[in-house]
DNA sequence: GATATATCCTGTAGGC
DNA sequence: TGCCTACAGGATATAT
């Protein structure tokens, strides 16, 4: 279940292979992988074939690969990719046997690396690819990590910057929380407030910051918000350094090698096990179709609600 | 307008 | 052994 660190590992792995590569051909095996694309598989194939990719960029959990536009100085379109729950983008030798759950394959030609196959595989089909126009960023800063262009795909424009983005605004984050009447856990998962954080790292950051997941966001003191933001960054950076989490083997990086961060988790998935800080058991609660893991001793139920 | 829930999907784990 | 159910959850459409 890729979150920011896992997606960044994929981006960094793809960038050298994609930058400067030309799309020789596209095979759409399952059109469910194109739910974000306006058009069918044949359109996707025709629109990409012959195009030159300039690089690999990321904001939050969204990836995009800008496409050179011969008529313009900067790219005006990009291939947008989201891995969803179980998506993978794998680099393979040309003609390699189909991957399990393979949905789309791009055959590319790179000036230095020769021919490669870029395989999009996705078990649970929550992920998708699309061709999307690029739109300018409101703050004129680069659209995300891995690009210097002040542009993002249209369908990514509503997604907030992630906490590892140099253009992320801490003050904007504090202001957004001050307006939110929802539980802080929900707000952390709201990609329009802060991107890149999923259920795992939300639980981990809240545990580290000693904040109860049901605390109303706007009631958090500034000091707690700053502590939380620092812990979000620390958790994401640590996971990034370790290559991403992969305790359910769904996530693999571009070479098919699993990341490994599960042993470092303090709260997520540790229901009933001792809190690493105080030794009392970690508790699991459900909200909608999700679950939260926290220590009821270290992360006290907020005194004030609503 | 803000917030909460339902939905898409498939493989795995656990109960019986 | 095998059937059944619960569960995992990102983004978004729909509902409150």
For residue A86, report the phi and psi dihedrals to the nearest 5 degrees.
-140, 15
Q: Is the CB of A272 under 7 A from strand C?
A: no
Q: Which of the following is catalytic: A32, A179, A280, A290?
A: A290
pLDDT of A245: 47
Q: Is the CB of A169 under 7 A from strand B?
A: no
pLDDT of A241: 83
Directed axis angle between helix A199-209 and helix A222-241, to 10°? 130
Nucleotides of strand C within 7 Å of the protein's CB atoms = 7-12
| Catalytic annotation present for A3 | yes
pLDDT of A253: 53
A101 is in an annotated binding site: yes
**Contact predicate A79/A53, CB 8 Å:** yes
**Contact predicate A89/A254, CB 8 Å:** yes
pLDDT of A171: 95
pLDDT of A254: 52
pLDDT of A249: 42
pLDDT of A303: 61
Q: Is the CB of A247 under 7 A from strand B?
A: no
pLDDT of A287: 80
| Catalytic annotation present for A98 | no
Q: What radius of gyration, in Å, describes the C-alpha atoms of chain A?
A: 20
Give the residue from A68, A130, A134 showing the smallest Cα distance to A103.
A130
**Segments of chain A scoring below 50 in pLDDT:** 245-251, 255-262, 304-306
Domains in chain A, start-ordered, CATH in brackets? 4-156 (3.20.190.10), 170-294 (1.10.8.50)
CA of A89 to C1' of C5 (A): 32
**Cα gap A170→A131, rounded to integer Å:** 32
**Cα gap A109→A50, rounded to integer Å:** 10
């Amino acid at each position: 279940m890729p979150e920011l660190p896992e997606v960044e590992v994929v981006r960094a792995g793809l960038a050298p292979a994609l930058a400067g590569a030309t799309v020789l051909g596209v095979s759409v095996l399952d059109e469910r992988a194109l739910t974000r694309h306006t058009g069918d598989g044949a359109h996707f194939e025709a629109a990409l074939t012959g195009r030159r990719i300039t690089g690999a960029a990321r904001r939050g959990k969204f990836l995009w690969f800008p496409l050179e536009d011969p008529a313009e100085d900067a790219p005006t379109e990009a291939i947008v990719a989201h891995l969803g729950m179980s998506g993978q983008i794998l680099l393979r030798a040309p003609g390699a046997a189909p991957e399990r759950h393979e949905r789309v394959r791009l055959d590319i030609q790179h000036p230095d690396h020769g021919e490669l196959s870029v395989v999009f595989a996705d078990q649970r089909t929550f992920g998708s690819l699309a061709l999307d126009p690029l739109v300018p960023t409101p703050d004129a800063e680069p659209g995300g990590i891995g690009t210097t262009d002040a542009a993002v795909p249209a369908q990514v424009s509503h997604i907030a910057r992630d906490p590892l983005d140099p253009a992320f605004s801490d003050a904007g984050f504090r202001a957004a929380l001050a307006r939110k009447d929802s539980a802080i856990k929900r707000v952390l998962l709201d990609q329009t407030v802060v991107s890149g954080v999923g259920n795992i790292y939300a639980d981990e950051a809240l545990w580290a910051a000693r904040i109860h997941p049901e605390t109303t966001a706007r009631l958090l003191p500034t000091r707690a918000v700053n502590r939380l933001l620092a812990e979000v960054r620390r958790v994401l950076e640590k996971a990034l350094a370790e290559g991403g989490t992969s305790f359910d083997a769904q996530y693999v990086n571009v070479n098919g090698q699993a990341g490994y961060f599960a042993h470092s988790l303090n709260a997520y998935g540790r229901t009933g096990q001792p809190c690493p800080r105080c030794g009392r058991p970690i508790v699991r609660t459900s909200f909608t179709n999700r679950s939260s893991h926290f220590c009821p001793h270290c992360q006290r139920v907020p005194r004030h609600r609503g």
